[in-house]
Copies of this chain bind each other. A is one copy, B any other.
Amino acid sequence: MTLTRKSLRQQIKEILLTRILQGEYRPGDRLIELQIAQEFGTSQAPVRESLRELEALGFVESVPYRGARVRAVSQQELAEVYPVRAAIEEVAARTAAARLAGDVSALEAEIAAMHRAADDGDLYAQVCHDVAFHRLIVDACGNRVLQEVWRSLRIEARTLISVVKTEIEPHHLADMHRPILEALRAGDGDLAGRLLRQHVEFFGELVLKGEHA
C-alpha cells in the first residue's frame, strides 16, 4: 500500500498529532484503537503504541480498559507553563550569552522573519518564528537536560493558543525580542537572562488576564 521508510508507529503518531494540533480531533474526543487501525489499514498494535507515545507527550490521556481521549489543555495549565518557562529560559540565556560569543545573526533572522510574517498577516508563521527565537537561545546554552525540559513543555502547541487569545500588535511583538538580542550580542548573560525572564512572565500575565474562555 503506502510507501514507508519510517515505522508505521511513527507515521501514525505524526498523523494523529497533526490532527490534534490542527483541531481536527477536539479535546475530549475518543481515539479508538481498532477504528483508527482500520482507517490506516494496519493492525491494532502500531496504533496502540502511537497512542501511548502521545500519552507520554501529554497530548492524550488514557484509562485502562477505557481507552484514550484527546487531552484538554486548561487555561490554568496554560498559565502555569509560563513561570517554569521563564525560570528555565533565564538560565538558558545566561549560559548562552558566553557561548554565542556575540554571534546573534540567527536570532536577528528570526526577528526579521517575525516582521515579515506580521506584514503578511500570517499569525501561524509569526508564532513559529517567535518560538524559534526562544529555541535558539535554549539550544545555544548547551545544557541537554535543560533543552529536553524546555521541549517537554510543548511551547509550540501552547504559544499558538496564547497568541490567538491575547491579540498583541504583531510588529510590537517582534520588537519586544530586540533588547534580549542586544544583551546577548553584548555578551551580558545576566541582563539577557533577566530580560528574557520578564519577557516570558509578561506573556504569562497576558494569558491570565485574557481569561475570557
List A residues at the B interface (Cβ < 8 Å). 7, 45, 48-49, 52-53, 56, 64, 76-77, 80-81, 83-84, 86-88, 90-91, 95, 143-146, 149, 152-153
Contact = CB atoms under 8 A, between A and B. Distances in A.
Contacts of A87: 87-88, 90-91
A143 B83 contact: yes
A92 to B, nearest CB: 9
11 contacts: A7-B64, A53-B56, A80-B146, A81-B145, A83-B146, A84-B91, A84-B145, A84-B146, A86-B91, A149-B149, A149-B152
Contact of A77 (B56, B86, B91, B145): B145
A21 to B, nearest CB: 19
A155 to B, nearest CB: 12
Nearest to A56: B56
Counting every copy of the chain, the complex holds: 2
A18 to B, nearest CB: 20
Q: Is the interface of A mostly helix, strand, loop or mixed?
A: helix
A195 to B, nearest CB: 16
Contact of A144 (B80, B145, B152): B80
Contact of A52 (B49, B90, B152): B49
Contacts of A153: 145, 149
Contacts of A90: 87
Contacts of A45: 45
Contact of A49 (B49, B86, B91): B49
A60 to B, nearest CB: 13
A84 B138 CA distance: 12
Given A45-B45, A64-B7, A77-B144, A84 B52 contact: no
A96 to B, nearest CB: 12
Nearest to A95: B83
A84 B80 contact: no
